[in-house]
Amino acid sequence: MISFPFSMAEVGPCRLCEHVRTLRLSHINPKFVYRFQKETTPTTIRSHINPNRPTQDSRKLYFLCDECEARLSRWETLFKREIYDPYHAGTFTELKYGPWFLKFAVSISWRSLKATLEVNADEVKTGRGMQPDFLSEAATAESAWRDFLLDRREHPGRFPQYFFFLDSLANSSNPDLPINFATYIHRVAASGIWHDPARGFMFTFGMLCSVAVIGVIFGPNLRSWGERIRVEKGILRMSTRVPAPTVVDMITAQANDHLTMSRSLSERQKMLDHQKLERAVSPEYLRAMAIDVVRAPRADHRIPKKRT
């Protein structure tokens, strides 16, 4: 692979069309999601392939050629206009969607799967702690989703897609949920694979700030999940339905991880901010600031403020 260290491009095989082309450094989730993301912590790819291993993070990858980026962005634009923006504006009620909605969902799930497998290549290679059929099933899903995105097949096969509005879940009053649960749901963009061996589920997730796209790899019983996204057309209604327990567990685990990371990041950030301030201002001003900081009330740790 040839790389150009001073540009935002690299030549290599495009993950979608597999042609060797110039690849762009891009976010795994659609760009528009990051507008809603107020957090500064790195939580884009969260791997739970092996539930006994810690998670890994990565925000951006050289992933797609321009043509494939353009292909995905057509569905992203429709999703943003027809669902995402109205939902965030509080005006969404229902939508008769066309074939683009399933394409959009599969594009989110495919990127989550492909990127997570790639970022965790070592773990995938050894297969330690994984269910033996995981790799073959994940590879089958990846190829089914890729073929569907490239119009080589008409539907994503036995790997269906689900879409959840998460506002009512965020408002849950369950005391067992982590304190940042609502903040996590509203503000964090994350994608990855969730493996729940006890219930026999494995799925990809795209957490896109208050909504989630789930692509099922294994799922023994999906009756309680509501309606899967249809191939040709369907109706998406505003729903207060809480997702299945395995999905709620995934979100809870992500929120817990995020809380741990935010705490360690905020300690580091505090130190960096102080160093920056020391360099930028006079000692008198710094002393005055320090007094103010001591006097200031503690910020609500459940809603970390964005630092600029």
Interacting residues toward Zn ion by CB under 5 A: 14, 16-17, 65, 68
Beta-carbon contacts of 299 under 8 Å, excluding residues fewer than 6 positions away, are 305
In this structure, the strands spanning 189-196 and 201-208 are antiparallel
Nearest CA among 257, 272, 259, 260 for reference residue 308: 272
The C-alpha torsion from 14 through 15 and 16 to 20, rounded to 10°, is: 20
CB of 269 to Zn ion, least distance (A): 37
CB of 10 to Zn ion, least distance (A): 13
Half-sphere exposure of 255 (CA within 13 A, CB side): 24
CB of 109 to Zn ion, least distance (A): 18
Nearer to Zn ion, 17 or 78 (CB): 17
The residue number whose beta carbon is nearest to Zn ion equals 14
Nearer to Zn ion, 68 or 144 (CB): 68
From residue 173, alpha-carbon distances to 176, 238, 268 in Å are 9, 21, 32
Q: How far is CA 278 from the centre of its chain?
A: 36
CB of 215 to Zn ion, least distance (A): 20
Nearer to Zn ion, 16 or 193 (CB): 16
19: number of Cβ within 10 Å: 10
Nearer to Zn ion, 150 or 272 (CB): 150
Residues 125, 281: Cα–Cα separation, whole Å: 51
Nearer to Zn ion, 14 or 214 (CB): 14
Residue 170 falls in which region: left (phi positive, over 0), alpha (psi -120 to 50) or beta: alpha
CB of 150 to Zn ion, least distance (A): 9
CB of 72 to Zn ion, least distance (A): 10
Half-sphere exposure of 31 (CA within 13 A, CB side): 8
CB of 157 to Zn ion, least distance (A): 22
176 CB burial (10 A radius; 0-12, 13-18, 19+)? exposed
Nearer to Zn ion, 11 or 17 (CB): 17
Using DSSP, state whether 78 is helix, strand or coil. Answer: helix
Nearer to Zn ion, 16 or 236 (CB): 16
